[in-house]
Amino acid sequence: MAAREIVENIYSVGTINWDLRYFDAIMPTPRGSSYNAYLVKGSDKTALIDTGEPHDEADFVTNLMRLDQDSLDYIVCLHAEQDHSGMLPLMLEVYPMAKVVTNEVCKGLLMAMHHLEELEERFIVIGDKETLSLGDKTLKFYLAPWVHWPDTMFAEVVEDKVLFTSDFLGTHYASPTLFQDDNSPDYLEAAKRYYAAIMMPFRASVQEYLGLIDEISPDYIGPSHGPVLKLPAKIIDLYRDWSSDTPKNSVVVGYVSMHGSTELMVKFLVDDLVQRGIPVQQYNLLETDTGVLGSAIVDAATIILATPTVLFGPHPVAVNTAYLVRALRPKVKYLGVIGSYGWGTNAVNYLAEMLAPLGAEMLEPVYIKGLPDEQTIANLHKLADSIEERHKTL
């Protein structure tokens, strides 16, 4: 990917990975991603904002060479995670006069991750709302811990109304264009998937920093992944909706079934909810991309896990899903467990304990021995009654 100009003398110099299919060995990225870095050329000084993933070293260095960047004054590190700091040691060698500009927390993490102790004199530590002059451009820094690490900060080019937000407002999306296409369903799907996996666990912080961005009111936002956001109102509105405290009238049912009993129960429950006009999405957990499931639970008021019993507990795929749901911390208000067993089970208690930290109300479980019967169907109707009644209060 070539270096591209955002506004005069501010360039995107990062790299695109079209083929990336898993990020951090956990998050499916069906549309690849990018590792963004930015070059800000002032009349007196030049700053590089972040570096990138070492895998893309050749492309990154080529981008800098294309801009004839034979010297550099500052390397700003907004966040220490290796996908953005991985080439910092290389950049410190290539640009021996460059200083690293970062906050105290990020400095500590960079030291630990790259063993830079001998280069400590090259660090400049800045605080919240401090500025750094590049001549006719000024960098202003905002500490923004917990979207998503404790070290995260933003940097604004004040004169150009360009704000670099690290991972915040990013997308794992290998974009063919420099700027976002707000009308692209693929981009918007990737943006929600990214929010769910990376930002949803920090929903309160997301709300806080949306307020900060309102105050700064940038024309451009340069996140660390995905397209640069030009006139970013739409994605900010979506973030406001996704991170709000109010879930939507929707139910997500994730299930796994061994001999068909649990699947039959899911069918009865989902059909019942559909007949009541309650939006419901059903996912076979054996086949569902966790990114799709993560996106689905962003808004859901109710999540139902349906699992048979394996030995004494839930199916391992259901356990994996419960762990994921707990870790992502959606704003779900009601949780339910349904399923079946042969000769004994502790599945309901096991899942209820796993999900307790979410603070949602546990609905009456429907957990049966063997095949569903008339009583099972009646109990599933009661569960649907409970969901309908509670969703009326949303």
Tell me which residues touch ligand FEO (CB under 6 A). 79, 81, 83-84, 148-149, 167, 224-225
- Residue 385 DSSP label: H
Backbone angles phi and psi of 238, in degrees to 5? -65, -45
Q: Is the peptide bond before 148 cis (omega within 30 degrees of 0)?
A: yes
CB of 35 to ligand FEO, least distance (A): 8
3-state secondary structure of 196: helix
Residues 6 or more apart in contact with residue 195 via CB below 8 angstroms: 238, 239, 242, 243, 298
Say how many residues make up the chain.
394
**Segment holding 310, helix H or strand E:** strand 300-310
Q: How far apart are CA 74 and CA 300, in angstroms?
A: 45
CB of 7 to ligand FEO, least distance (A): 23
Minimum Å gap between C-beta 174 and ligand FEO is 14
55 vs 248 by CB, closer to ligand FEO: 55
354 within 8 A of 325, measured Cβ to Cβ: no
Q: In sequence order, what are the residues at sequence separation of 6 or more whose Cβ sits closer than 8 angstroms to the Cβ of residue 356? A: none
CB of 75 to ligand FEO, least distance (A): 17
Measured from each CB, the residue nearest to ligand FEO is 81
Tell me how far, at minimum, the Cβ of 187 lies from ligand FEO, in Å: 18
Nearer to ligand FEO, 199 or 266 (CB): 199
Least CB distance to ligand FEO at residue 33 (A): 9
**Alpha helices (H) along 52-103:** 57-66, 82-85, 88-94
**Cβ proximity to ligand FEO, 45 vs 225, nearer residue:** 225
Task: Give whichever of 226 and 314 is closer to ligand FEO, judged by the CB atom.
Answer: 226
> Looking at beta carbons only, is 187 or 367 nearer to ligand FEO?
187
Nearer Cβ to ligand FEO, position 91 or 147? 147
Q: Which CB, 123 or 149, lies closer to ligand FEO?
A: 149
Minimum CB distance to ligand FEO smaller for 137 or for 148: 148
As measured in angstroms, the least distance from the Cβ of 340 to ligand FEO is 41
Q: Give min distance, CB of 23 to ligand FEO, in A.
A: 8
H or E element in which residue 307 lies: strand 300-310
d(CA 126, CA 140): 10
Nearer to ligand FEO, 148 or 315 (CB): 148
Closest separation in Å from C-beta 57 to ligand FEO: 17
- The answer to whether the CB of 276 falls within 8 A of the CB of 386 is no
Q: How far apart are CA 381 and CA 242, in angstroms?
A: 30
Q: Confirm if 110 and 141 have CB atoms less than 8 A apart.
A: no
- Sequence-separated contacts (24+) of 184-189 with Cβ below 8 Å: 186/31, 187/226, 187/227, 188/238, 189/295
